[in-house]
């Protein structure tokens, strides 16, 4: 038996390793040429300390209190030299990946589909090469090199982990580097290079109600999260991480009516995933949409659960700032708050 361990480094790089039954995370990492911090490997120095965000494991009782206190252990801190996983785990490693002699992965694939979804959004599908090893946490992003240039652009996965076909929602920006390629030159069969996964915005273990806030193509990571949850439910895995035990509500905001995309997928999730619901919001005052304005106008008490919620937020910087100000004004302090701003990668004189 083997478990998958996601090591999230402080520079945003994620490296996945396999850990054999009975093997410590430190030994598994070294076996796969990831040099996690270590001085003693005996639970004495505390150098290998990290934080396990999800998963089951055993720390034993052979480490010193000076290396890991009872209070730290209760908060999810671990010593990787003592940690023996009994499930897949996600571990925060408090150093840069370069210091552990590892780096972000590079893979290649073939452009399969470019589909305009609206005037401002495009769906891109890439078939990964058969030998490509791409694991990621739902919500993370990857760099995609723009053909014909030396630049890359960063996009969140909208597909779930483990799929051979990776999909992305891309904002169509006039004169944009990636937008120009996709709308003017891209064709099926083009070869693409990708680097990743990256980012600390990903789905954590679900132990309380969840509120997801998406702006425009910021919907992408939530599609990945929901797809994984729906799959776990279909497989009958149950438990908190299945997403069935707690309500999940998504508020999806756009500027215009025809900017709403992938609502058919959201309808399907509402049928496939117990406890999931969503609402849409349109900014345009001329819209006849039943909910107009911004997402902050539609976060009523029913979805806020008196602050006993985990909030995930992905959208453009003005939306992020507006939500932060709204929470501060209303005195809302979620149990946890994870957000990611997406901005057009911009070179002098051009938008991405």
List the domains of the chain with CATH numbers. Answer: 2-100 (3.10.20.30), 105-198 (2.40.30.10), 210-341 (3.40.50.80)
Per the CB < 8 A criterion, the answer to whether 151 and 141 are in contact is no
Q: What is the pLDDT of residue 348?
A: 34
3-state secondary structure (DSSP) of residue 313: strand
Residue 14 has pLDDT above 70, yes or no: yes
**Which two structure tokens, joined as six digits, stand for 267?**
């309808």
- The DSSP element (H or E) to which 4 belongs, if any, is strand 2-9
Average pLDDT over residues 338-349: 60
Phi, psi of 280 (to 5 degrees): -120, 150
Nearest of 258, 281, 288 to residue 172 by alpha carbon:
258
Mean pLDDT of the chain: 91
pTM summary value: 0.88
Phi, psi of 225 (to 5 degrees): -60, -50
Q: pLDDT tens, 308-330?
A: 999 999 998 899 999 999 999 98
Confidence of residue 237 (pLDDT cuts 50, 70, 90): low
Nearest of 193, 149, 179 to residue 352 by alpha carbon:
179
Rounded (5°) CA angle 157-158-162: 70
Residue 243 has pLDDT above 80, yes or no: no
């Amino acid at each position: 038996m083997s478990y998958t361990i996601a090591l999230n480094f402080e520079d945003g790089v994620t490296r996945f390793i396999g850990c054999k039954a009975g093997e410590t995370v430190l030994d598994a990492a070294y076996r796969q040429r990831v040099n996690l911090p270590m001085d003693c490997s005996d639970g004495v120095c505390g150098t290998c300390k990290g934080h396990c965000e999800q998963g089951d494991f055993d720390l034993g009782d052979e480490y010193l209190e000076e290396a890991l206190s009872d209070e730290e252990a209760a908060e999810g801190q671990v010593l990787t030299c003592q940690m023996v996983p009994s499930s897949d785990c996600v571990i925060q490693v408090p150093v840069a990946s370069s210091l552990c002699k590892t780096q972000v992965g590079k893979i290649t694939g073939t452009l399969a589909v470019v589909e305009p979804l609206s005037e401002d959004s495009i769906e891109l599908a890439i078939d990964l090469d058969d030998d490509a090893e791409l694991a990621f946490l739902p919500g993370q992003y990857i760099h995609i090199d723009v053909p014909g240039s030396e630049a890359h652009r960063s996009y969140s996965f909208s597909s779930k982990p483990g799929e051979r076909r990776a999909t992305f929602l891309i904002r169509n920006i006039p004169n944009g580097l990636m937008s120009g390629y996709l709308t003017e030159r891209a064709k099926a069969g083009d070869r693409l290079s990708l680097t990743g996964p990256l980012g600390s915005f990903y789905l954590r273990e679900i132990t309380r109600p969840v509120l997801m806030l998406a702006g425009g193509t910021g919907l992408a990571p939530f599609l990945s999260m929901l797809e994984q949850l729906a799959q776990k439910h279909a497989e009958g895995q149950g438990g908190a991480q299945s997403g069935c035990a707690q309500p999940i509500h998504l508020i999806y905001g756009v500027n215009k009516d025809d900017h709403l995309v992938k609502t058919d997928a959201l309808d399907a999730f509402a049928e496939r995933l117990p406890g999931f619901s969503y609402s849409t919001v349109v900014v345009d005052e001329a819209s006849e949409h039943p909910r107009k304005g911004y997402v902050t106008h539609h976060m009523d008490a029913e979805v806020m659960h008196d602050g006993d919620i985990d909030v995930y937020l992905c959208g453009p910087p003005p939306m992020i700032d507006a939500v932060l100000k709204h929470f501060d004004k209303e005195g809302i302090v979620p149990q946890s708050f994870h957000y990611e701003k997406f901005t057009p990668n911009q070179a002098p004189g051009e938008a991405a």
